[in-house]
Amino acid sequence: MVFVIDDDESMREALHSLIRSVGLSVATFGSAHEFLQSKRPDVPACLILDVRMPGLSGLDLQRDLTEANIHIPIIFVTGHGDIPMSVRAMKAGAVEFLTKPFRDQDLLDAIQQALDRDRRARSQQADSADLRNRFHSLTPRETEVFELVVKGLLNKQIALQLGTSEITIKLHRRQVMEKMQADSLADLVRMSEKLPQKEPQKGT
């Protein structure tokens, strides 16, 4: 889905036709406020955003979306661009900053890049959520074993530290590997590095 925000109706219509011509879904808005009030589908998306508009400007909307933890790739288009403005937009994460009039292909290339970026981000978020769910499926004792295993301790060392038998630790370790869907110790260590650092405190 491509969202277009521009206060110029003729520009909105032209962009709508161009984007539809390559088979993409598009929704247009005349203001940033109108966009913020809309219900947006949870699909890979990007935003084509005019810089200067009445009310909330494009750069202000970019800032507000970031502060609201809404990460949608933005392509700025403007008839009044300048270098400081484009630098500010790019530093804040914009995919592209195009000055009107721009080539249709330049915009279409930027849209493809933005949608690819959003797909990758969504995939990473899904993977991270799945990993956190697996970690939270561990019991408090399995969590302790997990923490010590990824630190490189041997089963007998873990057993000594936790005050239990080595056989019991082997059983817990097997459960940890199965629940985390880890194929090896190296795999488990990589998973631990992707978890937020505060999460290993669970159950301690």
* 130 phi-psi bin (left φ>0, alpha ψ -120 to 50, beta other): alpha
> pTM value?
0.73
Checking DSSP bridges between strand 26-29 and strand 46-50, what pairing results, if any? unpaired
Give the position of tokens 């930027």.
110
The string of pLDDT tens digits covering residues 189-199 is 999 998 876 44
Residue 99 contacts residue 78 (beta carbons within 8 Å): yes
Residue type, 181: Q
Instruction: Retrieve residue 202's tokens.
Output: 């669970």
The one-letter amino acid at 120 = R
pLDDT band for position 2 (cuts 50, 70, 90)? very high
Q: Are the C-beta atoms of 166 and 154 separated by less than 8 Å?
A: no
Query: Could you report the per-residue pLDDT of 32-47, keeping only the tens digit for each?
Result: 999 999 998 999 999 9
State pLDDT tens for residues 52-104: 888 888 999 999 999 988 889 999 998 876 777 788 888 888 999 998 889 99
Task: List CB contacts of 118: < 8 A, sequence separation 6 or more.
Answer: 44, 45, 46, 72, 73
Alpha carbons 74 and 93: distance in angstroms, whole number: 8
Average pLDDT, rounded, for the chain: 90
Name the residue among 40, 47, 56, 52 with its Cα closest to residue 8.
Answer: 52
12: amino acid identity, one letter: R
